[in-house]
A and B are shown apart, each in its own frame.
Chain A
Amino acid sequence: MPKITYKDRDGNSKTVDVENGLSVMEGAVQNDIPGIDADCGGAMACSTCHVYVEEKWLDKLHKAEEAEVDMIDMAYDPKKNSRLSCQLIVSDELEGLMVTTPEKQS
């Protein structure tokens, strides 16, 4: 199982094994990682699973579709490397992925 690292803005981090096929958001929720609220449950209807993706990973992820970018407009403090973690599906290629949670989700 790929290891995914979740870091908060203070630098505290937790690395967990997330099954292939789950989203980075689900990996966080199942492992009680704070900082990812995922209010809508992964329907891409809110933006409370917003994360910043470590730069070197940006190209390895599939590009965000328009609806995701629109949703990121609504996120708290969006940046160039912002993604919705519900849209990042874990696979072997993402072994070692690191995401940082924003100061807050809403």
Chain B
Amino acid sequence: MKKTDTIIIGAGPIGLFAVHQLGIKGLKSVVIDNLDKAGGQCIELYPDKPIYDIPAVPECTGEELTSRLLEQIKPFDTDFFLNERVEEVKQEKENWIVKTNNKNEFTAPNIIIAGGVGSFEPRKLAVKEAEKFEEKYLFYAVRDKEKFKNKTISIFGGGDSALDWALELSKFSNVNLIHRRDEFRGAPHTLSEIKKLEKKGKISIKTPCQLESIEGKDTINSIKVKFDDGRIEKIKTDVVLSFFGLIMKLGPIAEWGLNMNKKTIEVNAENFETNKKGIFAAGDICSYPGKLKLILSGFHEVALASVECFKRARPNEKYRFEFTTSSKTIQGRLGKK
């Protein structure tokens, strides 16, 4: 079990800035996120979209904001646990214990939930038989491409992931690329490569159509797709890959005994603590009268929450408010002389 001062759930902009606010107060933290990288919605949903309302930054993209925040928290040398979702939160005296789906355990007096709208998870196929083949013959991500050698693979989706994997896997397998409309959304170069492979008969493109059913008992034998004109085609298939992006799911957070308001966690606007002492919520996931779902509001929320985190983590020390411009202690923590 790893001990720290604060466990931060969510590596979006608010979780990252929480590391900073805790760090300048001398508190250690760990960050847990279900995505494979830091940045949350900024990196997953709108990496290239400009944001215009970060104070003193007239314009920056989601990706730039993330990389600047990561740079800002570098001095604190924080451990990130990515690709991990928090499953369980329980109390042990004054401390909280957090368990992840990757069997990691953490303990700390404080938890800051900066979980946005929940954790990102792949959007699953709608047909009901999809579940029984999942992780065996139907996948929402490719971890080990060796598994897909010399197979007949049907890939669903019209974006970069679908196109990139169609290209890659066509090197050693038969690939069907299936999309609901004729246009694909992907890098032009990838698209032209795919068109070339289609001419050579290496990739078969099926549009505009959608999945109707998956057939097979223990393994997948074939799939049926339905075209816009109503025609149904049966396609021999060993493996189905589906790339319909990620969706956000609140997940286990709803079961931790926190007061919820729809999909958000109720907090007080003084220190952003929930109804459980030592559990805070900040950013899009928290609600209080007047709450605005803006990144800048989340920055304010973690700044205030970090003060209460200090009091709980250092009960025998007096909290002193300090400015970064004048505090030698803070400057030391930031590695400045």
Contacts and interface: CB of A to CB of B under 8 A. Distances in A.
The interface residues of chain B, by DSSP majority, are classed as: loop
B26 interface: no
Contact size class for A?
A: 10 to 19
Interface in B111-141: 117, 123, 126
A45 B45 contact: yes
A97 interface: no
B249 A106 contact: yes
Contact of A74 (B117, B123, B293): B123
Given A76-B126, A78-B180, A106 B247 contact: yes
Contacts of A76: 123, 126
B39 interface: no
Interface string A37-60: 001110101111000000000000
Nearest to A77: B126
B185 A41 contact: no
Contact size class for B?
A: 20 to 34
A76 B180 CA distance: 12
Nearest to B42: A45
B247 A73 contact: no
B298 interface: no
B283 interface: no
Interface of A: 39-41, 43, 45-48, 66, 69-70, 73-74, 76-78, 80, 106
Interface of B: 41, 45-46, 49, 117, 123, 126, 157-159, 179-181, 183, 185, 228, 244-245, 247-249, 284, 293
Given A69-B183, A73-B158, A73-B159, 20 more contacts: A39-B247, A39-B248, A40-B117, A43-B45, A43-B49, A45-B46, A46-B248, A47-B245, A48-B247, A69-B181, A70-B158, A70-B185, A73-B157, A73-B245, A74-B159, A74-B245, A78-B180, A80-B228, A106-B248, A106-B249
